[in-house]
Amino acid sequence: MERRLLGPDDALPAERDLASEFEVSRITVRKAIDGLVHEGLLVRRQGSGTFVVARVEKNFSKLTSFSEDMRARGRTPRSVWLQRSEGTVSPEESLALRSSPGTPVYRFHRIRFANEAPMSLEYATVLASSLPSLDAVESSLYEALERAGNRPVRALQRLRAVLLNSEQAKLLQAKEKDAGLLVERLGFLKDGRAAEFSLSYYRGDIYDFVAELSSSS
């Protein structure tokens, strides 16, 4: 029998072709694929087919944007906007950004994709003084902040495990209560001011966070 190996991001043959090749029913093939999707080994992309999951490693010790991470790995980043708005800081944002009540901010909520696969939900808030306008952000928030001379140079990040709720799961093409990773980031400018506060929910089945550690001695 000819042996074929599929690599990360490769598409599976059509169900009818698999059923014919392995001489089983399409129902059997569908159940097998459903099981592999549930285990996080395959992912369905609406209108495109079923693909082998390619896990992504994010270096937790480097301050880079999602777009930069994906391009560095040979992937094509894309965003779908959920909300772009302006307003004033909420009590939580005021505390995180060390800003006074009433401080103007811009909010950017979106789904982040890589090679058309949904990877994360990003809810970012930045001080309005850091950007010339709400429309300054096209695809990458950090690129827009850099053009404005206000790209964060350091950040505090907190990572914790979460279970995706029904809305998050739907947007990420996952299942409710699937494992997810929540990253809370607070970005600081060169002068020490906090300028960016973001909450990002990642699919736990395709994202790994890594950090290089060294001894102090």
> 144 pLDDT band (50/70/90 cuts)?
very high
Question: Alpha carbon of 56 to those of 7, 34, 170, 174: distances in Å?
Answer: 14, 22, 20, 16
Fold equal for 15-52 and 56-210: no
Q: Which residue has the higher pLDDT, 197 or 63?
A: 197
Question: Rounded to whole angstroms, how far apart are CA atoms 104 and 99?
Answer: 10
Q: What is the pLDDT of residues 31-58, one digit of tens each?
A: 888 877 766 567 777 777 887 766 666 6
Count how many Cα atoms sit within 13 Å of the Cα of residue 58 in the half-sphere of its side chain: 23
Tokens of 164: 């995706």
Taking Cα atoms as reference points, which of 157, 153, 91, 99 lies closest to residue 126?
A: 99
Single out the residue of 214, 204, 215 nearest to residue 58, CA to CA.
Answer: 204
Residue 166 is predicted with a pLDDT of: 96
Question: Which amino acid is residue 210, in one-letter code?
Answer: V
Question: Using one digit for the tens of pLDDT, what is the confidence trace for 101-133?
Answer: 999 999 999 999 887 788 899 999 999 999 999
pLDDT tier, 1 (very low <50, low <70, confident <90, very high otherwise): very low
Q: Where exactly are the structural domains of the chain?
A: 15-52, 56-210
Residues 180 and 102: their CA atoms lie apart, in Å, by: 33
CATH 1.10.10.10 fits 15-52, yes or no: yes
Contact (CB, 8 A) for 110 and 129: no
CA distance 200 to 141: 13
DSSP 29-73: HHHHHHHHHHTTSEEEETTTEEEE---EEEETTS---HHHHHHHT
Return the bridge partners of 207, or none.
Answer: 56
What's the burial of 4, exposed, middle or buried (CB within 10 Å: 0-12/13-18/19+)? exposed
Tokens linked to 72: 């560095």
CATH architecture of the region 56-210 = 3-Layer(aba) Sandwich (3.40)
Residue 135 to residue 172: CA distance in whole angstroms: 25
pTM value?
Answer: 0.73
Helix (H) or strand (E) holding 93: helix 91-97
